[in-house]
Amino acid sequence: MEIEGIEKIKKSTLTEGVISRIKNMIEGHSFAAGEKLPAEREFAEMFGVGRSSVREALQVLQAVGALDRKQGKGTFLGDAAVQSLRRMDASSERYSFQELAEARRVIEVQAAALSAKNADDGDIKAMKASCLKHTEISRSRPRPEVTVLDYDFHRMVVRGAHNGFLLKMFDMLRDNLILSNYAVLTADKIIEAVNYHKQLLEAIESHDQNGAKRVMREHLTQVEKLIIRSGKDAANTREYREGIGEENK
């Protein structure tokens, strides 16, 4: 498939270069809402990259709500794709990863305690299912999917607090949380997160409010240290979107 003006991506760039190119195509209205996008193989040929790079890029764009990937049918442009991408850009350029970590600590530590107090059997069941799925996916480590599942579990915890305002505040962080996790998570940190999630689930199921607060605080403190150590900030986020850097080896 040939689309005028589309250049091949040099082999030395990051997989994120694919994300940037597809994002530009979406914002340039190369596809209509609901339209089926080219297959992974076609994108790979178009940009001159491997299919694994395309697959990962599509997973990330799906995670932020721009794409709808249907098993056995293909990838389709979401109805609000352009708005999702613009919202993602605006929020990530305005707030640093450090600010995001601080906001998480303010919202989620108290939400964990409230979840231990208020979560019902349905909430606990949903958290267990989310934790199990996150654990299973983490073993194969398709990083975009892992980061989405990580967010999903944390949202389950906040939802268990039964405080609509807290949940709405947390939902405002969605795109930033997924992208910041994608940028800094490594294999060992993914395993560490899974272990914290299991401890948090045990505290909530036992209705241990202090324990839930402690585990969540420790978990988010480790995330914050990772962010500080990585030196990721808003400028790095822009580089991430533009595909600056070397190919993952």
What's 32's domain CATH number? 1.10.10.10
91 lies in the same domain as 124: no
245 lies in the same domain as 204: no
238 lies in the same domain as 178: no
Q: pLDDT tens digits for 116-149?
A: 999 999 999 999 999 999 888 877 765 667 888 8
Residue with tokens 């654990």: 135
pTM (2 d.p.): 0.64
Provide DSSP, 122-189.
HHHHHHHHHHHHHHHHHHH--HHHHHHHHHHHHHHHHHTT--HHHHHHHHTTHHHHHHHHHHH--HHH
Q: How far is CA 132 from each of CA 124, 127, 138, 194, 199, rounded to the nearest angstrom?
A: 12, 8, 10, 9, 13
Domain that holds residue 193: 97-232
89 lies in the same domain as 159: no
* Residue length of the chain: 249
Residue 166 banded pLDDT, cuts 50, 70, 90: very high
Between CA 188 and CA 208 the distance in angstroms is 28
Residue 204, domain CATH? 1.20.120.530
pLDDT at res. 55: 83
57 lies in the same domain as 180: no
Number of domains in the chain: 2
135 lies in the same domain as 227: yes
128 lies in the same domain as 65: no
Q: Is the model more confident about 106 or about 101? A: 106
Token pair for 63:
């995670």
Q: pLDDT tens digits for 59-83?
A: 778 777 788 878 788 889 888 777 7
Q: CB within 8 A of 231, min separation 6: which ones?
A: none
152 lies in the same domain as 69: no
208 lies in the same domain as 243: no
89 lies in the same domain as 103: no
